[in-house]
Structure 1
Amino acid sequence: MAVMWENTYTVAAIVAALLFMMYKSLRSSHKLPPGPRPLPVVGNLTHITPVRFKCFMEWAQTYGSVLSVWMGPTLNVVVSSADAAKEMLKERDHALSSRPLTRAAARFSRNGQDLIWADYGPHYVKVRKVCTLELFTFKRLESLKPVREDEVGAMVAALFKDCADSRPLNLKKYVSAMAFNNITRIVFGKRFVDDKGNIDNQGVEFKEIVSQGMKLGASLKMSEHIPYLRWMFPLQEEEFAKHGARRDNLTKAIMQEHRLQSQKNGPGHHFVDALLSMQKQYDLSETTIIGLLWDMITAGMDTTAISVEWAIAELVRNPDVQVKAQQELDQVVGQDRVVTEADFSQLPYLQAVAKEALRLHPPTPLMLPHKATETVKIGGYDVPKGTVVHCNVYAISRDPTVWEEPLRFRPERFLEEDIDIKGHDYRLLPFGAGRRVCPGAQLGLNMVQLMLARLLHHFSWAPPPGVTPAAIDMTERPGVVTFMAAPLQVLATPRLRAALYKNGSSPS
């Protein structure tokens, strides 16, 4: 045993020496961005606080808007200004559009055979084209509008039922259930949960697959950053294989159901129908179709719910803004019908509220990581080939050099200036930009605006008894997406007549 540990220490010492040499070599041959001094082997991993985007924002105030962060032996560059983001996502986009694959991401995506984790190349261009020209077209989004409005109506009906006794409600429960039902219907054409809250067998399997995937993905965090020590943290190959098989089996069963329905009634309008109908035209493998379907699930399930919960939290903290948004809704929609997506063009303040919530609380504050496929410069510094590059959207949207009163929730800023939210203005990037911009940005924005519109039109929102608006906990939970650390507890008071809280449309 003593010999084994002696050998382990020897290997660790050799690895540490090699990593130090690599670090010194990179430093001497490139003008790297400044950053906190790394330690041997672990780099800056022990310096990074759990909420990474806030940690990187604080470091940017010391080292500048382009900084180096060493995660083990891997150089990461974090950009934290609109100008640097423009360089990364527009001017150097050709060399910074690939993805670094962790072992978990490689297993989940079948080595990048999907869209999210695919390297930039012919496969990515093809599946991106499918998403842009087929899945997220205006025509298809319009055909799925009844699904969105039905699910938002079901959320409102559930809130109306549960707020009758004037007890505080956990808003996350309702917005998450709505997002879950909406995305499974849009993607799979299935509602796994009935009106009474009972979940069917496929729904149980779906939720277990999602839960197990999250556990597997979270099990490798530290070892992923230090490849030389991965032998000490072997991948759970059998568990990943079981998870992949369960995911594939469920998806294939749903795909077969849609094939049979298409033979009888013609193709439907959900994402699974679209991909199956275009499989030969775009030469899509079954693995790629499954990957794309789960990409849509992953990207659409949490992000809308997160955005709406943060928005309502801000509106409870800023009751004057809430009242102003409700006055606009009452003037345009009135109190004798429900608001629909067709009303959005006449609701500029509501749109501004949604934008301001996405500015202060971007659902993916560091985007997903990019990888340099060649050496480029950002902000005058070298970004060597192989570097992992992050865009700190959170820091950029709170930058006092480009935003007046950046920490204040003030939707009026978007009425005073027309600011694009879908990747053309680098001050505001909740959906990314460039070759990797989110193809479903318009769908995501529609969902956030519709949920906010219904929640504000149907209810007034206030903190629980004994809690002041300023006392609401606005702390973020660590993770790739920014959930509230403490789920929002609120009082909902109906504003309209009871008949308008019934969800009258049927699932499609």
Structure 2
Amino acid sequence: MSPLSSVLIGFVVILVVYKVVQWKRYKLPPGPRPLPVVGNLLDIAPVRFRCFSEWSQKYGPIMSVWFGSTLNVIVCNTELAKEVLKENDQLLADRPRSRSSEKFSRNGQDLIWADYGPHYVKVRKVCTLELFTPKRLESLRPVREDEVAAMVESIFKDCGSQEGVGKTVMVKKYPSAVAFNNITRIAFGKRFVNGEGKMDPQGIEFKEIVGTGLKLGASLTMAEHIPYLRWMFPLEEGAFAKHGARRDNLTKAIMEEHTLARQKSGAKQHFVDALLTLQEKYDLSMDTIIGLLWDMITAGMDTPAITVEWPMAELVRNPRVHQKAHEELDRVIGKDRVINETDFAHLPYLQCITKEALRLHPPTPLMLPHKAIENVKIGGYDIPKGSNVHVNVWAIARDPAVWKDPVAFRPERFIEEDVDIKGHDYRLLPFGAGRRVCPGAQLGLNLVQSMLGHLLHHFIWAPPEGMKSEGIDLTESPGLVTFMAKPVEAFAIPRLPAPLYKREPVNW
């Protein structure tokens, strides 16, 4: 062994011993025994929220789990979630930023990765008072309904054509297209994909920017948890700078288009227009405006599609629920018109299906982590300053102490008891709660319910030939959001008159 290697190993050992002595001062939550340097990283199963839920059966509903040298506290029941997100909300309102999120957010100049403080409060105010108001959400309804109509027409063409008869469709494909087109239209006023499914040059650039960002973030994952090994995984400053420049150039080009259009017509409809007109009022930097727009893209591209694919899988698995949903739609809507968002209030069972899917399959099952601003106590244990806290909303929503038949897909439970899903009832937290609750929850819910309503109203869904309903695989893929490991395929059988499948494009 070389002298340099000996020195490095000795340095690491000293650091580890120092950390252990430091942490002994606290009464930490129980948890699996960590290894030197790597902590519990080698023991954590790929689907983390399931792994942590299983560990909670052994160690209790609050656990210490070490990601390298960083303490992560996992809470897995309603009472502890309330302590984190309500009673100690302000002390746990920061975000831990990785090197990649530090770069992407320009040191927390956006909303998602901003630390709690004056900047966060200001940007949050812009979102709640200006961007996601009921009036603005209603003004965006034509976009959502247009994209959902395009989805229905696309499925009808794929399953109703001569080539498509007798073939299954991959369900995820269609809500993914809706989510992509919807978020780019409401954020940037751009539909990058035309009626034939071809993407324009800006759309291709947009997709490449998103893909490059994901690759850059993934390249640093392991080193993020072990700071004194980061020299082995250096940050590619040039790659991040190039990615940031591409993102900024595309965004600014779209902004210039909007500025010219606004000067000609005076229109102020899309989020990019709103932010530009609010820039002076709220003293928003260009980094913050661009960061907010890309926060919306990040949140709006995957989660609506995920939140639709899971209930569709459950509906194919549960013919009883599927039939009951059709009965409600036929009774309220009939078969001579299409559903629209104003019908939601008269479709309680459809709303219950949405809630039940969010209970069993929350799109972000561990939420984004919170970071302790100061030392705090949760469940009688010490949570030292700088620790990360994760709320396992997946485990909470399946807790048999709170939910009857917790793993059963039974929408009726929300008819028997109305449960809030926007952060006021700590049994069900798909959008988080407290200071970090998702500001765009209602926007997402409107789109999800619209997609679900149309998919059910226009089609009967059946499992592939030779497969029983219960054969649909509900395994989750590893990751921050819960994609299905095996995307669901099903037969889509039209059930309405053919003219109701035709989209009439909305120029908004």
TM range (shorter): over 0.9
- Aligned residue number for residue 419 of structure 2: 419
- The alpha-carbon deviation at position 39 of structure 1 amounts to 0.2
- Aligned residue number for residue 44 of structure 1: 40
- The alpha-carbon deviation at position 9 of structure 1 amounts to 4.5
CA distance in 1, matches of 2:348, 2:100: 42
- Aligned residue number for residue 160 of structure 1: 156
Q: Secondary structure at the match of 1:29?
A: coil
Which whole-Å deviations, capped at 9, do the CAs of 1:276-333 have from their partners, x for residues lacking one?
1100000001110000000000011100100100010000000100110111010000
Letter in 2 for 1:139: K
Q: Secondary structure at the match of 2:460?
A: strand
Give 1:11's match in structure 2, choosing from 5, 8, 13: 8
- Aligned residue number for residue 501 of structure 1: 501
The number of residues matched between the two structures is 504
- Aligned residue number for residue 139 of structure 2: 143
Q: Secondary structure at the match of 2:294?
A: helix
Query: 8 Å contact 1:166–1:492 — kept in the other structure?
Result: no
- The alpha-carbon deviation at position 193 of structure 1 amounts to 0.4
Which whole-Å deviations, capped at 9, do the CAs of 1:170-212 have from their partners, x for residues lacking one?
1111111111001100110100000001110000000000000
1:376-387 maps to which residues of 2 (within 5 A)?
376-387=376-387
CA distance in 2, matches of 1:242, 1:491: 44
1:282-297 maps to which residues of 2 (within 5 A)?
282-297=282-297
Unaligned 5+ segments in structure 2 are: none
Query: 8 Å contact 1:476–1:482 — kept in the other structure?
Result: yes
Q: 1:47 to 1:9 in 2, by over 3 A?
A: farther
1:354-373 maps to which residues of 2 (within 5 A)?
354-373=354-373
Letter in 1 for 2:376: V
CA distance in 2, matches of 1:480, 1:273: 31
CA distance in 2, matches of 1:232, 1:417: 53
- Aligned residue number for residue 70 of structure 2: 74
CA distance in 1, matches of 2:393, 2:268: 37
CA distance in 2, matches of 1:293, 1:254: 12
- The alpha-carbon deviation at position 20 of structure 1 amounts to 3.3
Residue range with higher mean Cα deviation, 148-157 or 266-275:
266-275
- The alpha-carbon deviation at position 353 of structure 1 amounts to 0.2
Query: 8 Å contact 1:423–1:433 — kept in the other structure?
Result: yes
- The alpha-carbon deviation at position 400 of structure 1 amounts to 0.5
- The alpha-carbon deviation at position 473 of structure 1 amounts to 1.0
1:144-293 maps to which residues of 2 (within 5 A)?
144-164=140-160, 165-293=165-293
- Aligned residue number for residue 375 of structure 1: 375
CA distance in 2, matches of 1:46, 1:343: 50
Query: 8 Å contact 1:33–1:66 — kept in the other structure?
Result: yes
CA distance in 2, matches of 1:166, 1:237: 51
Query: 8 Å contact 1:475–1:485 — kept in the other structure?
Result: yes
Q: Secondary structure at the match of 2:363?
A: coil
TM-score by length of structure 1 reads: 0.98
- The alpha-carbon deviation at position 166 of structure 1 amounts to 2.5
- The alpha-carbon deviation at position 8 of structure 1 amounts to 2.7
- Aligned residue number for residue 30 of structure 1: 26
Letter in 2 for 1:415: I
Which whole-Å deviations, capped at 9, do the CAs of 1:23-68 have from their partners, x for residues lacking one?
2431x21110000000000000111111111111111111111100
Letter in 1 for 2:153: A
4+ residue runs of structure 1 moved beyond 4 angstroms? none
Letter in 1 for 2:295: D
CA distance in 2, matches of 1:16, 1:153: 61
Which whole-Å deviations, capped at 9, do the CAs of 1:428-450 have from their partners, x for residues lacking one?
00000000000001111111111
TM-score by length of structure 2 reads: 0.98
Pairwise CA RMSD: 0.9
Letter in 1 for 2:419: I
Q: Secondary structure at the match of 2:268?
A: coil
Unaligned 5+ segments in structure 1 are: none
Give 1:21's match in structure 2, choosing from 18, 21, 27: 18
- The alpha-carbon deviation at position 468 of structure 1 amounts to 1.0
1:113 is the counterpart of 2:109: yes
Letter in 2 for 1:405: D
Letter in 2 for 1:65: P
Give 1:91's match in structure 2, choosing from 87, 91, 96: 87
Residue range with higher mean Cα deviation, 62-71 or 6-15:
6-15
Q: Secondary structure at the match of 1:493?
A: strand
CA distance in 2, matches of 1:42, 1:374: 25
- The alpha-carbon deviation at position 17 of structure 1 amounts to 3.5
Which whole-Å deviations, capped at 9, do the CAs of 1:366-415 have from their partners, x for residues lacking one?
10011000011111111000001101011100110100000000000000
Query: 8 Å contact 1:150–1:507 — kept in the other structure?
Result: no
Q: Secondary structure at the match of 2:282?
A: coil
- Aligned residue number for residue 454 of structure 2: 454
- The alpha-carbon deviation at position 92 of structure 1 amounts to 0.2
Q: Secondary structure at the match of 2:129?
A: helix
CA distance in 1, matches of 2:304, 2:106: 26
